[in-house]
Structures are given as C-alpha cells and as structure tokens.
Structure 1
C-alpha cells in the first residue's frame, strides 16, 4: 500500500521562502453560517417592528415611526432590520397577492404573518439565504409555487419585471443628510476634519453647528453618532431649538420632549448651564428621551414622566422658567416622507388631502390650543416657541390665531424667527408673516414655528440697570416676592377665563 500523501500545509519551507498559510476548509462554511444566523435574527427583529408598524397604521394610532422603532435600543442589528422592514413594506402588496394566489398560505401562519412577509421578501427578492426555522422551511418548500404565481401576476399586468409592479409612491427624491454637532462633547471643526476624509461636508448657512452631507450618507453606525458627538437631526427640527435661543443659566421647559433631540439641542445652546425640565407623558417614549440625554452628555436636564398640562404654573418651582419649547403631538404630516409613511398600506394622496379636516386633526388642534394656552400662563416666561411637524393650517396658523387674544393680554407678541427665511406663515390673519414654515420643496421636512416674546421683557432688555448692566427692570421684577407676584398672576388668569373658555371650546 503506498504511503499516504504528505500534508503539504505542514511541510517545512525551503530556505528563503515563507511557508503558505495552512488551509482552513471550514472558514468559508463558518462565515456562511454566521451570515445565515445574522439573517435569521434580522428577519425576526424586522418582523417585530413590522407588526407594530402595521397594527399602528391599521388603527391610526402610530406606535412610533419606522425609524424610531428600528433605531430603538432594543433592536440590535439596526441596519439589516431597517432595510428588511422598508423593503418588505415596499413589496408588501405584491407579497400579499403572491401568497393569496398561490393557494398554499394557510391560516396556521396567521400568528406569524409579519415574519412570513419578511422571509418571503428576503428569499424571493432579497439575498435568498435560508436557515433552519419553520417559516424559512415553509417559504423554501413553496418557493417555486410562489415564483410561478409572481410570473402569472406580471403577465396579467402586462409588465416585464417585478419592479414595474411597484407603486410610484415608493419613489422619493433624495435629500441632503443634515447632522448637528453636539458642542457639549466636541467642536464643529473637529467633526468636519473627521467627516471630510470620506464625505463632502458643508456648513449650514443659517443654523449653527449644523453640517450638510450628500444624500444617502449612512451615519447610523459612525462612531461620532454612537458616541453622541453628532446627532442625526434634520435642519427644520434644529431650527426649533435655535428659535428659542435660550441663554446659559436660564431655566427652560421642554413641554413634550421625547425623543429628546430638541431637548439636548437646548442644552448645547445653553452650554450645559442652567436647567431644563423635559416633560414626557408616555413612559416608553420617556425611556427614549432618557437614552438621548445620556448619549448627549448633558447634565442639566431633569426628565419628568408626566403631563405638561398638569404642571401648576403658579407653583414657585416654576416661577423662574424663562423659556418654553412646546412641540406637542401632531399629525406628523410634514415628516411623512422622513417617517417613511409613503410605504404604509394606508398612505395615499386622498388620505393626505382629507387629513386636514379629519376628526383626528380637530382633536389634535384642540389639544394644541390647550397646551399653548397653558405654556403662555407661566409668569416669568420671556420666550415661547410653538412648533409642529405638520403642514395643516388647522394645527398651525389656526392654533396660533386662536390664542393671540390671550397671548396679547399676558404681554406676548409674535416675533420673527430667522427673518432671512423666505417661507412664512399662510396669510390667514394679520401677523402671520412672523410665522415660519419649512417645506419638502426646500429639501427639508415640513415644519411650523411660532415665536412668542413677552413685550415687557423685550423692552426691559434695552433699558440699563441701576449698576450700568443690561438687566434692567426685568430682573428687578423677577426679584419681587413670589407670593405677591403669584397672587397678581392668579388674578390675571381669573380675569381671562372667558378667553380661555373660548380657546378651549368650553
């Protein structure tokens, strides 16, 4: 019997030669197994997100946007999960038709319906990686049947490929990627230095510490983002906190704070000095808020899990609040693209046209009027920003117009944030030119901003104080005994009950 062949991988190297690395036949298989396991778990995370998205869409009660759900701390493989959710929603009408026409989609899979959709997309249109798992085995078993059904659908619709079956609503114009530098942790210059090695980076010409990157730039896993040195925040969203323009040392309320991007932006504008009370009613969203605060490094933010409307503005604890940011619950119609609402089954042009007069909008606007009226009632507030991410007049100009009598009686007037911005409020009442709107036509989200400034505070800011400083009578009035000041304010509120009743519709 001839001797067995030598194992060349262990043969000694000749002089002057380096020995080739030993063969590792299992490396490729191990890599493939790791890829299959990653795909397996990504499908299940995607199915969990998809279930919440579809149920929220069906009930008209969003449990969060696709992005907020995917990029929550509970999702581990965020990039793969996000891609799977978006692509499954994009192909969902086709997947449903294929499963229905194939005749093999039985009721026993109903409890795992979302996982079936995700897996069917991944195997039929995606990477076709399957591992052990009952749903994967089911899809692989009937894969040929599904593909035959898909071909029949294409023939019936007279199209040559699957992409022609997709709705035009899934096509969205790419927008620049805006990022905000968190100056609590780093400087704009150092971030530009890092990012410019891989991307074209421009500084925004209006919002401080805002950078503009090319459309499609993926920053979610970048160390600057994970370390909290950079926040993935749209320009319009950043304009809200910048319009508040809080001074270092002020006491500020963020009335409806989650997910917290505007809250930590306020902290950065205040150089981490003073204090911010961040209110959030929803306990789950409050967790996201707290996570955002921790990531930012801000140490002057107190999170309050509760309703802003339940805060007593007469409470001495809030007598020194100088600014309020009120960004209440709204329809989100201005960020439907960013939220990827165009991928949802309920989305259509008709839905958007009818939304402005829907019962939901009326309910939201009633809450918004009540919240804005309450924000105006804090005795020492000098600056108040009301903002929404809505395009509807009912949530924007109409809300502001309805509270103007009360605001005027309390010494407030509308000011003009970012006067260089060309797009202003709809001309539906005198003074609407002070309001600010952003629009997708500007490559931004659809936002609305109204800035209320107390006239007495604005006037006193120009008057010299007795010691030659710029504090003026404003600071002197703030030093008035709290009890007297609060009693006077309470009387003023009682004298305006007719105005409040008119605003709140009671």
Structure 2
C-alpha cells in the first residue's frame, strides 16, 4: 500500500509539473502573437510617421491579455531589431510564407537568440528552432564582420529614460468617487490629490498599476497630468453637446464624459479604422453612456449639418509631431529614432505639413455656428505647431467672435512670446524637462449672446479693454499672477482675454 501511494504521489507530481509546463507553453505562445500584433502596428506607424498609438498604449489596451510579457517582448525585440534583421538576412532561411509574418518571426528570433527559452510550440517556433544553428552561425559571422566580441557592442543599450515622473491616474467619476479611489489605492501606494486637476491623483514614480483592479475595470485611467488638463480646460457642462474632433485613443473623450457626468452628448470623430477600435474599447471601459463614435474625417464634417447644430464645445487634439512625449512613448526604441535625426529639410517639411493640417482643423472648428468654447492642444514642443498656429488663426477667430482665454491661470509656464501683445501669456505650455512632458493648450471662448447665456457667472465683465491691454504690456507678470484686470470665469479654470480681437 505504501509503495502504491508513493507511486501515485509521484505520478500526480509529474502530472502537475507537466500541467504547469503546458500553461507556460500556452502563455509563451500567445504572448508572442500578441507582441507580434503590437509590433506590426508600431512598425507600420513608425514607417508612416503616423502612429496608431504609443508602444505602451498599444500593449496596455484591453485587447492584450498578458501585458507584462507582451510589453517586454516588444521592447526587447525593438532594441535588438537591427541585429535580428541582419541575422535573418545572413542566414537566408525564410521562405515566402514566413516573410509574410515578419513581425512574429522577429519576435521568435529574438527569443531564440537572446530571450528565455521557455518553450517553442507553434509552427513558426518549430520552423525557427530547427534552424537555430543557422541563426547562431549567422550571428557569429556578423560579430566577426563588425569586429566586435559580444552582442552588446552591436547595439546602443537604450534604457527607458529614468524621468522620475510621478505616476498619474485620473479617477473615472462615472464609476468611482475620488475619496474611494484614494482609499483603495492608498492601501498599496502613497497617493495625493493633484493641485490642478480635481479628479487626478499623483503616485510615486514607477508604480506599476497596469494590472490593478481599478485600472482593469475602468474606475481609474492611467493618464498623464498634461493630457488630463486638456478636457479640464474645455470644462463642458453636463447636458451640453460636445465634439471631440480627433478622438482616439479616447482618454480625453472619456474624461469629457466624466466631467459632463454622463449627461448631454459627445460626438467622437476619428478617421483611422484601427484607432476607431481603440476608441470604442476605451469608451466601453469607461462606461460613458453619452458618447457617439462618428467614423470619418473631422475636416469633412459640414458645420451646417443639423447633427452639429447644438454642439457648444469642441476639443481639438489633432495629429502632431509628438515631440513633447518622446520619452513617454518609448520612441527611442523605434527604427526611425535609431536611424538618427531626420535632415533639417525633411523635418521642416513634416512640421509644415502638420501645421497646415492643424490650422485647417482649428479654422474648421471655429466655423460651427453654436460653438462657444474650443480647446486646441498638442503634445508638441515646436512653435510652428503651437503659437504659430494660434497666431495665424487669431484674425479668423476674432471675425467669428472668439476670444483667447487663459486655461489654468495659476500654471507657471505660458506660451512663447511670438505675438505683438500679451496674448502669449494666455496660452499654456508644459515643460518637457521640468514637467517630464511637453504639451500646449489654447482656449477660445465666444463672446456675445451664446456666451452670455452660460450658467457660469463672469466677474468684472466691464473691465476696460484698453486698460487691460496697456496694463498687460506694462506688467505681464502681475496680470499672470493676479489677473486683476482680466475677467475671470467663476470656475477659476480660465480667464477671458479681450484685447486681441479689437485690432
């Protein structure tokens, strides 16, 4: 009996071990395929210089199950990508079938040569494992050809920049109140309320919340401070109709819905089909009941269409260079980054094309008849995409009855002084060094009957335009600090600037 029991226990242990290995094999198999999908999106976006999303946003979207393993595979494969491609070309082992699945081949080749060889089930894995000697031989020949002794000498060992940036999370007040979020997150982390954005919480750097239950169920969103300031600057009221002009991936759309308490209507416009899927996933996760996704180009919308006759606010966050969030997006891992900076001519052409689109989009936003509030934002540090866009559009804004306003008056960093008067003081910038990301925000408010009927009271509505202009030129810092001569909206989120439209 004893021997039988021992044999039974041994068999059970063996079976359990086999089962665990089987789970590991399945996990590795699916992680590689999830990583290949993400890598395909990343490489295609990088080639077009028009990313569907950052590496992080693509990996940590709701469709990816094994996020940690997938993120590691994507980042490590990208870091070794030039070597992996060189090895595959030198080994000359790929037929047309596998060349059509190049992202998966990159992932598996990295895993075979440099990764942890947990398991290699799957047709693609078996194909490459059978040719492992050829891959290793090709790698050895490359080392000799490059006159180096180790793989580390072939690549620049990029590390994710240690920006020591706080981890920000935005509480989705459609699902959870601020105090409950503080309570729950406070069980594991040091948590503080942000001093600018009411529904934003600040945690220590490098807090890994990607698998936290509150993130997984959409009660909180991993969203940076500058990004969270955009919807807060627009400050739409519950019951309004709002247009999010370039909505994907949807974090700002979901924030708008929360600010509006799920009331009214948000029309979320997005042209890119892949990004529409991402937008829909984000909205679904947020539980926002008042968002209508509208596939298509914002510039093709007819402002006179009855569908938009009641739109009172527009959030315009158009395609931009993304130069303010390079470290956050892990752009240093992309092939285009490794190839070195683009020539001045190429980069200038790209920025000019972006700025042309941005001007068209902002001019289009100003043409919607019932709109009384517009936010224009970018994650760019370039003047051509920011202050220059605003400066070029001011005459049109004035003719349509719009005034520049100051989002977050207490924010220390304002726009570059490229305007004739003091208008640059009413623009907002975040600093890529001090704030760890570079964003730009401009807010337009419409004067006249539509704006006067808003429920938000205006203090000091009779401030002298001439006096305000004179004093702002003499004492710009005083105006920035106190805003004594500028009417201030009751919410305290922004000030109305009156002088530029009188020219």
SS of the aligned residue for 2:337 comes to: coil
Q: Is residue 53–residue 249 contact of structure 2 (8 Å, CA) maintained in 1?
A: no
CA pair 231-5 structure 1, distance change in 2 beyond 3 A: closer
The equivalent residue for 1:56 is: 45
* 1:186-201 → structure 2 map (5 Å cutoff): 186-201=176-191
Q: Is residue 176–residue 443 contact of structure 1 (8 Å, CA) maintained in 2?
A: no
* 1:407-422 → structure 2 map (5 Å cutoff): 407-422=397-412
Q: Is residue 255–residue 325 contact of structure 1 (8 Å, CA) maintained in 2?
A: yes
CA pair 77-378 structure 1, distance change in 2 beyond 3 A: same
CA pair 367-33 structure 1, distance change in 2 beyond 3 A: same
The equivalent residue for 2:498 is: none
Cα deviation, 1:189-226, whole Å, max 9, x if unaligned, reads 11121112222222222111111223332222221112
Cα deviation, 1:403-435, whole Å, max 9, x if unaligned, reads 100111122121111122222222222312211
The equivalent residue for 1:127 is: 116
Q: Is residue 435–residue 448 contact of structure 1 (8 Å, CA) maintained in 2?
A: yes
Q: Is residue 375–residue 444 contact of structure 2 (8 Å, CA) maintained in 1?
A: yes
CA pair 314-459 structure 1, distance change in 2 beyond 3 A: closer
Query: Is 2:452 aligned against 1:460?
Result: yes
Query: Is 2:367 aligned against 1:377?
Result: yes
Query: Is 2:202 aligned against 1:205?
Result: no
Q: Which has the larger radius of gyration?
A: 1
Cα deviation, 1:217-259, whole Å, max 9, x if unaligned, reads 2222221112110111111111100100112222222122122
1:364 alignment partner, one of 354, 375, 382 = 354
The equivalent residue for 2:104 is: 115
Q: Is residue 236–residue 444 contact of structure 1 (8 Å, CA) maintained in 2?
A: no
The equivalent residue for 1:6 is: 3
Alignment length, in residue pairs?
A: 455
Q: Please state how far the C-alpha of 1:156 moved relative to its aligned partner.
A: 6.8
Q: Please state how far the C-alpha of 1:372 moved relative to its aligned partner.
A: 0.9
Cα distance in 2, alignment partners of residues 137 and 442 from structure 1: 49
* 1:171-182 → structure 2 map (5 Å cutoff): 171-174=160-163, 175-182=165-172
CA pair 82-171 structure 1, distance change in 2 beyond 3 A: closer
SS of the aligned residue for 1:25 comes to: helix
Specify every segment of 5 or more residues in structure 1 that has no aligned partner in the other structure, as ranges. Answer: 12-19, 475-506
SS of the aligned residue for 1:361 comes to: helix
Cα distance in 1, alignment partners of residues 345 and 387 from structure 2: 18
CA pair 55-308 structure 1, distance change in 2 beyond 3 A: closer
2:175 alignment partner, one of 185, 195, 201 = 185
CA pair 356-455 structure 1, distance change in 2 beyond 3 A: farther
Could you tell me the TM-score, scaled by structure 2's length? 0.81
Specify every segment of 5 or more residues in structure 2 that has no aligned partner in the other structure, as ranges. Answer: 462-503
Cα distance in 1, alignment partners of residues 112 and 81 from structure 2: 14
The equivalent residue for 1:321 is: 311
Q: Please state how far the C-alpha of 1:287 moved relative to its aligned partner.
A: 2.8
Cα distance in 2, alignment partners of residues 156 and 230 from structure 1: 51
Q: Please state how far the C-alpha of 1:76 moved relative to its aligned partner.
A: 3.6
Query: Is 2:341 aligned against 1:350?
Result: yes
Cα distance in 2, alignment partners of residues 27 and 51 from structure 1: 36
The equivalent residue for 2:389 is: 399
The equivalent residue for 1:259 is: 249
* 1:52-131 → structure 2 map (5 Å cutoff): 52-101=41-90, 103-108=91-96, 109-131=98-120
Q: Is residue 53–residue 65 contact of structure 1 (8 Å, CA) maintained in 2?
A: yes
Cα distance in 1, alignment partners of residues 343 and 426 from structure 2: 26
